[in-house]
């Protein structure tokens, strides 16, 4: 069971007063939790069956504006309701909030009660089902990198987002002394999430002042995405409780390393690792090679799902450990895909393209779809790239801008075939909307550069 509380146990805890609040949450297009805070008595009596929300929640941007141009949700259709259907297998306590439990909801059409196709959880479930039809289960792990800041969200906002002082003074990569100073925030993050049923492995300092990483043990793809979303949410809330801010922006400062969300992937059949072949030089099965070939072949099509914001593309820079090329390598951190655990039962492929701002359901769904296509078409895997991949002119490029990634998404016959036109058009529109908003802005850089000298 992915959650830690059964509905029966929740009812008992509500009856004895241990739980008084239940958060019913859907996951939005940006990978955030949206929903309602129920009085627990109401939830266990009636609302556990279903509750409702305005359908704009799956047709909005980071600022919750009523973005235009979506076929599914618009002023013409009058912004109706969706059903939020609690997935009772995901009930868990929220130990960092008093007397509170949480449940994740699937999003259903108000009239047909069918899954809303562009709901992130539904998109991932669809690809998991396709994989299951082939006889496999995907195990995934997403690493969460983020920055902690000295001041609170409110103080930073008041300063016009200029008072951005990271919590630490220097690069804290694997640094035990420096991360001891951050334990006031990170220890409760690890312990509360663990108590909420997330298989927390560790936190570690990352390669910049104030930068952190949380690692969660790999799990079935849907559980992994649920874990990622709950962990990201908890990190922000616990940082806020301590008077700090946590940011998952992919790149908050031009001169500092960006934040990634690497995705580790392996396929299993009947509890056995299907990526393993002890007779292969690197321990990779044929199945794994086809899967990785699919990941690489379609990376330009699905980059939008790994890098959904204008800012995401500022992270892809040479010499920063963020990749720029769609090739694979053996334990080499400059490539888009890195083979990990070569020659062991834990052999897996790590995608290093995604930024910390990705939506894990969409990222995993797109990569599963690409891997499945690699398996179906028995795509050949080129030999691994060696050396400094940044300088390899023969290697394919990751799209360099949101504009290019959105064009690729929109024009992808492959994604249209495996995800459906409605889903592709919905997210391509979200990307276009983001670009339209950005194109309207006059940036500080333009003013400083041209005010006097233009
Ligand atoms: P590194 O620190 O070198 O990136 P780790 O050993 O910390 O590697 O593993 C990174 C992530 O990979 C962890 O979250 C771990 O749970 C996950 N992982 C380990 N084995 C597998 C596997 N077979 N499939 C998917 N993920 C895995």
What percentage of the chain has pLDDT greater than the value 90?
89
Of 84, 360, 137, whose CA–CA distance to 248 is shortest? 360
Rounded to an integer, what distance in angstroms lies between the CA atom of residue 15 and that of residue 8?
11
When mean pLDDT is compared across 230-239, 255-264, 317-326, the lowest value belongs to: 317-326
Q: Which of 340, 350, 364 has most ligand 1 atoms within 8 Å of its beta carbon, as the pocket-test mutant?
A: 340
Among residues 53, 83, 114, which one ends one of the domains?
Answer: 114
**With 80 as the cut, is the pLDDT of residue 121 above it?**
yes
Q: Check whether residue 293 and residue 396 sit in a common domain.
A: yes
Residue 239 lies in a domain: yes
Q: Check whether residue 166 and residue 108 sit in a common domain.
A: no
pLDDT band at 332 (very low <50, low <70, confident <90, very high): confident
Distance 361 CA to ligand 1 centre (A): 18
What's the pLDDT score for residue 188? 98
pTM of the model: 0.97
**With 60 as the cut, is the pLDDT of residue 286 above it?**
yes
**Ligand 1 atom at minimum distance from 345 CA:** 23
Q: Check whether residue 66 and residue 137 sit in a common domain.
A: no
Among residues 54, 86, 114, which one ends one of the domains?
Answer: 114
Residue 450 lies in a domain: no
Of residues 235 and 391, the one with the higher pLDDT is 235
In DSSP terms, 141 is beta-bridged to 264
Q: Check whether residue 50 and residue 187 sit in a common domain.
A: no
> 234 lies in which domain range?
127-445
Please compute the mean of the pLDDT values over residues 388-408 and round it to a whole number.
Answer: 87
Residue 249 lies in a domain: yes
pLDDT band at 348 (very low <50, low <70, confident <90, very high): very high
Residue 232 lies in a domain: yes
- Which residue CA neighbors atom 16 of ligand 1 most closely? 217
Q: Check whether residue 106 and residue 214 sit in a common domain.
A: no
Distance 253 CA to ligand 1 centre (A): 28
Q: Which of 136, 190, 215 has most ligand 1 atoms within 8 Å of its beta carbon, as the pocket-test mutant?
A: 215
**Ligand 1 atom at minimum distance from 216 CA:** 14
State the average pLDDT for the chain.
95
Task: Tell me if 275 CB under 6 Å of ligand 1.
Answer: no
Of residues 77 and 260, the one with the higher pLDDT is 260
Residue 120 lies in a domain: no
Please compute the mean of the pLDDT values over residues 306-317 and round it to a whole number.
Answer: 95
Q: Check whether residue 64 and residue 142 sit in a common domain.
A: no
**With 80 as the cut, is the pLDDT of residue 321 above it?**
no
Rounded to an integer, what distance in angstroms lies between the CA atom of residue 109 and that of residue 236?
30
**Angstrom distances, CA of residue 320 to CA of 146, 316, 395, 413:** 16, 8, 18, 33
Rounded to an integer, what distance in angstroms lies between the CA atom of residue 119 and that of residue 123?
6
Residue 221 lies in a domain: yes
Task: Tell me if 12 CB under 6 Å of ligand 1.
Answer: no
Task: Tell me if 124 CB under 6 Å of ligand 1.
Answer: no
Distance 257 CA to ligand 1 centre (A): 22
When mean pLDDT is compared across 272-281, 346-355, 380-389, the lowest value belongs to: 380-389
The CATH number that applies at residue 64 is: 3.10.20.70
What percentage of the chain has pLDDT greater than the value 70?
99
Contact call for residues 301 and 170 (beta carbons, < 8 A): no
What's the pLDDT score for residue 1? 55
In DSSP terms, 212 is beta-bridged to 146, 205
Q: pLDDT tens digits for 400-421?
A: 999 999 999 999 999 999 999 9
The CATH number that applies at residue 277 is: 3.30.590.10
Q: Check whether residue 80 and residue 140 sit in a common domain.
A: no
Task: Tell me if 204 CB under 6 Å of ligand 1.
Answer: no
Q: Check whether residue 217 and residue 358 sit in a common domain.
A: yes
Q: Check whether residue 337 and residue 388 sit in a common domain.
A: yes
Task: Tell me if 333 CB under 6 Å of ligand 1.
Answer: no
Domain count, the chain: 2
What's the pLDDT score for residue 314? 95
Q: Check whether residue 94 and residue 194 sit in a common domain.
A: no
Please compute the mean of the pLDDT values over residues 333-353 and round it to a whole number.
Answer: 93
Q: SS3 for 162?
A: coil
Q: Check whether residue 104 and residue 138 sit in a common domain.
A: no
Task: Tell me if 346 CB under 6 Å of ligand 1.
Answer: yes
Tell me the CB-side half-sphere exposure of residue 222, using CA atoms within 13 A.
Answer: 22
Task: Tell me if 217 CB under 6 Å of ligand 1.
Answer: yes
**With 60 as the cut, is the pLDDT of residue 155 above it?**
yes
pLDDT band at 380 (very low <50, low <70, confident <90, very high): very high
Residue 345 lies in a domain: yes
Q: Which of 139, 190, 223, 264 has most ligand 1 atoms within 8 Å of its beta carbon, as the pocket-test mutant?
A: 264
End-to-end CA distance of the chain: 62
**Ligand 1 atom at minimum distance from 265 CA:** 25
**With 70 as the cut, is the pLDDT of residue 239 above it?**
yes
Among residues 56, 79, 114, which one ends one of the domains?
Answer: 114
Please compute the mean of the pLDDT values over residues 202-228 and round it to a whole number.
Answer: 98
Residue 330 lies in a domain: yes
Q: Check whether residue 110 and residue 136 sit in a common domain.
A: no
């Amino acid at each position: 069971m992915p959650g830690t509380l059964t509905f029966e146990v929740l009812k008992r805890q509500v009856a004895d007063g241990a739980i008084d609040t239940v958060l019913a949450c859907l996951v939005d297009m940006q990978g955030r939790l949206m929903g309602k805070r129920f009085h627990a008595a109401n939830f266990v009596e009636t609302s556990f069956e279903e509750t409702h929300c305005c359908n704009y929640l799956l047709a909005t941007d980071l600022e919750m504006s009523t973005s235009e141009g979506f076929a599914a949700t618009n002023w013409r259709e009058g912004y109706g309701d969706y059903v939020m259907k609690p997935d009772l297998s995901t009930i868990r306590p929220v130990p960092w909030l008093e007397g509170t439990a949480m449940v994740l909801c699937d999003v259903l059409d108000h009239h047909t009660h069918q899954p809303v196709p562009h709901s992130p959880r539904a998109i991932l479930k669809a690809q998991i089902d396709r994989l299951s039809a082939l006889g496999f289960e995907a195990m995934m792990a997403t690493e969460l990198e983020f920055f902690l800041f000295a001041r609170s969200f409110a103080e930073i906002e008041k300063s016009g987002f200029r008072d951005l002082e990271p919590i630490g003074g220097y690069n804290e990569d694997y640094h035990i002394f420096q991360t001891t100073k951050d334990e006031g925030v990170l220890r409760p993050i690890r312990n509360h999430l663990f108590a909420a049923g997330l298989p927390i492995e560790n936190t570690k300092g990352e390669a910049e002042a104030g930068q952190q990483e949380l690692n969660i043990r790999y799990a079935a793809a849907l559980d992994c995405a649920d874990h990622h979303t709950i962990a990201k949410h908890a990190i922000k809330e616990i940082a806020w409780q301590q008077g700090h801010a946590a940011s998952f922006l992919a790149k908050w400062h031009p001169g500092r390393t960006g934040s990634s969300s690497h995705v580790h992937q392996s396929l299993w059949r009947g509890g056995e690792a299907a990526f393993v072949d002890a007779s292969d030089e690197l321990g990779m099965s044929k199945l794994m090679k086809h899967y990785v070939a699919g990941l690489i072949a379609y990376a330009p099509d699905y980059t939008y799902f790994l890098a959904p914001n204008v800012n995401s593309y500022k992270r892809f820079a040479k010499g920063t450990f963020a990749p720029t090329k769609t090739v694979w390598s053996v334990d080499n951190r400059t490539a888009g895909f890195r083979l990990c655990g070569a020659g062991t039962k834990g052999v897996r492929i790590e995608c290093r393209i995604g930024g910390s701002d990705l939506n894990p359901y969409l990222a995993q769904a797109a990569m599963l779809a690409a891997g499945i296509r690699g398996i179906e078409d028995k795509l050949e895997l080129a030999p691994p790239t060696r050396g400094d991949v940044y300088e390899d002119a023969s290697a394919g490029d990751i799209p360099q801008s949101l504009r290019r990634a959105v064009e690729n998404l929109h024009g992808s016959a492959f994604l249209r075939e495996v995800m459906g036109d409605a889903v592709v058009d919905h997210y391509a529109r979200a990307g276009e909307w983001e670009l339209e908003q950005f194109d309207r802005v006059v940036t500080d850089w333009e003013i400083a550069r041209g005010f006097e000298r233009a």
